[in-house]
């Protein structure tokens, strides 16, 4: 084994600082190490890559969700994560990948993402023309996890391109590049996130989402529903991320967020209160020292008039520190 590493220009002594030589293997021309996360064994790249997400040391995994998602990544499932905005769909995948040194490519499939952005196009470089690969073939060739954000907002042309890749032993045919066939690297994975299950938006919260046809939905082999964190875990998150925030205020903010979420479920408002928005509000309160101003700039100013009124009334009920002269609903 030592001779094999030296033949590849790798120093065994340097590698031994991280793992024993017996743990290392060569797969697809790269150095792999066997690791376990939530008792799921994974062969990970040993050497770094610029596309590996940064690890958030304070990130708190829900093991009941993270374990089957990770197993689905290992099993090469086509994974669809469905849940409300800001509930942590993308961050879950990125934090798993960061701990496994697995490179990730992310692309937002909103209406402005074109087919040429996705698969590639011919470009002029100097006096020559060359084909520039898009994010899909690039991820397939390199063996990255491709995270498709907002799948339910994607254009139909992009969804039809995906269908061929999602078949058993599927490939990508680049008609734009003379019919080139791109075969996926053994470590290529595909994960999509969506606010709806592809059956249309019944809440009014996610305008611009589309109905996905049954043939496309059937190709996602593992679908997970995600929700916001339980109250005690959101409080813990605020304590970690915004240490200057008093515990009493953290508790009150989490109760406000859940009150708005319940109001959305009962169709009293057409907005929600994501964990992302909760963190923005907590940080602004800690810096501005004014609950009313913080609420106005991070929450109320984003809402329609009726929603603003309801959320402000809920805030008055849950935030005793809210100044009556600021952050009003008018």
Residue 192 pLDDT > 60: yes
State residue 60's pLDDT score: 83
Q: Is 17 left (phi over 0), alpha (psi -120 to 50) or beta?
A: alpha
Rounded to an integer, what distance in angstroms lies between the CA atom of residue 242 and that of residue 258? 19
Average pLDDT value for the chain: 84
Integer CA distances (angstroms), 57 to 5, 240, 241, 268, in order: 32, 10, 11, 37
State residue 14's pLDDT score: 40
Do you know the residue count of the chain?
A: 330
- What integer is the mean pLDDT of 42-60? 88
State residue 298's pLDDT score: 95
Instruction: Mean pLDDT check: name the lowest of 41-50, 95-104, 272-281, 296-305.
Output: 41-50
- What integer is the mean pLDDT of 2-11? 42
Q: Is 320 left (phi over 0), alpha (psi -120 to 50) or beta?
A: alpha
Residue 328 pLDDT > 80: no
Banded pLDDT at 168 (limits 50, 70, 90): confident
Residue of 74 and 14 predicted with greater confidence: 74
Residue 23 pLDDT > 80: no
Sign of CA dihedral 202, 203, 208, 213: negative
Rounded to an integer, what distance in angstroms lies between the CA atom of residue 125 and that of residue 87? 42
CB 83 within 8 A of CB 274: no
3-state secondary structure of 114: coil
Beta strands per DSSP E along the chain: 24-27, 30-37, 40-45, 78-83, 104-108, 120-125, 128-133, 145-149, 172-174, 180-182, 189-194, 222-226
Residue 212 pLDDT > 90: no
Residue 4 pLDDT > 70: no
Residue of 196 and 75 predicted with greater confidence: 75
Could you tell me which residues come within 8 angstroms of residue 145 by beta carbon, excluding any fewer than 6 positions away?
A: 73, 93, 97, 102, 103, 104, 105, 139, 188, 189, 190, 191
State residue 271's pLDDT score: 87
Rounded to an integer, what distance in angstroms lies between the CA atom of residue 246 and that of residue 237? 13
Banded pLDDT at 155 (limits 50, 70, 90): confident
Banded pLDDT at 215 (limits 50, 70, 90): confident
Tens of pLDDT, residues 175-189: 888 899 999 999 999
The answer to whether the predicted template modeling score (pTM) of the entire model surpasses 0.85 is: no
State residue 293's pLDDT score: 93
State residue 17's pLDDT score: 43
Tens of pLDDT, residues 235-291: 999 999 999 999 999 999 999 999 999 998 888 988 889 999 999 999 999 998 889
Instruction: Please count the other Cβ atoms lying within 10 Å of the Cβ belonging to residue 2.
Output: 10
State residue 209's pLDDT score: 56
Residue of 311 and 31 predicted with greater confidence: 311
Banded pLDDT at 28 (limits 50, 70, 90): low
Rounded to an integer, what distance in angstroms lies between the CA atom of residue 71 and that of residue 79? 11
């Amino acid at each position: 084994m030592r001779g094999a590493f030296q033949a590849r220009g790798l120093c065994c002594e340097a590698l031994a600082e991280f793992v024993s030589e017996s743990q290392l293997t060569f797969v697809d021309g790269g150095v792999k190490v066997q690791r376990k996360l939530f008792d799921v064994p994974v062969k990970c790249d040993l050497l770094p890559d610029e596309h590996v997400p940064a690890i958030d040391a304070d990130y708190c995994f829900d093991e009941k969700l993270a374990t089957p998602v990770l197993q689905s990544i290992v099993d090469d499932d086509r994974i669809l994560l469905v849940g409300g905005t800001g509930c942590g769909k993308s961050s879950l995948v990125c934090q798993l990948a960061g701990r496994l040194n697995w490179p990730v490519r992310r692309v937002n499939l909103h209406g402005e993402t074109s087919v040429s952005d996705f698969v590639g196009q011919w470009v002029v470089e100097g006096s020559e023309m060359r084909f520039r690969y898009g994010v899909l073939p690039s991820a397939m060739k390199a063996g990255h996890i491709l995270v498709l954000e907002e799948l339910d907002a994607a254009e139909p042309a992009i969804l039809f391109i995906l269908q061929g890749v999602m078949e058993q032993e599927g490939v990508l045919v680049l008609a734009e590049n003379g019919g080139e066939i791109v075969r996926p690297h053994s470590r290529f994975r595909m994960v999509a996130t969506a606010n709806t299950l592809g059956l249309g938006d019944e809440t009014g919260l996610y305008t611009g989402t589309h109905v996905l046809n049954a043939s496309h939905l059937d190709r996602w082999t593992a679908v997970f529903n995600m929700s916001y964190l339980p109250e005690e875990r959101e409080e813990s998150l605020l304590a970690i991320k915004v240490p200057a925030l008093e515990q009493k205020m953290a508790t009150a903010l989490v109760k406000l967020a859940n009150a708005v979420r319940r109001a959305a479920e009962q169709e009293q408002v057409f907005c929600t209160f994501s964990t992302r928005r909760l963190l923005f509000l907590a940080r602004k309160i800690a810096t501005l020292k004014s609950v009313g101003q913080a609420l106005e700039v991070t929450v109320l100013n984003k809402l329609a008039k009726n929603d603003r009124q309801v959320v402000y009334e809920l805030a008055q009920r849950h935030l005793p520190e809210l100044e009556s002269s600021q952050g009003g609903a008018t």
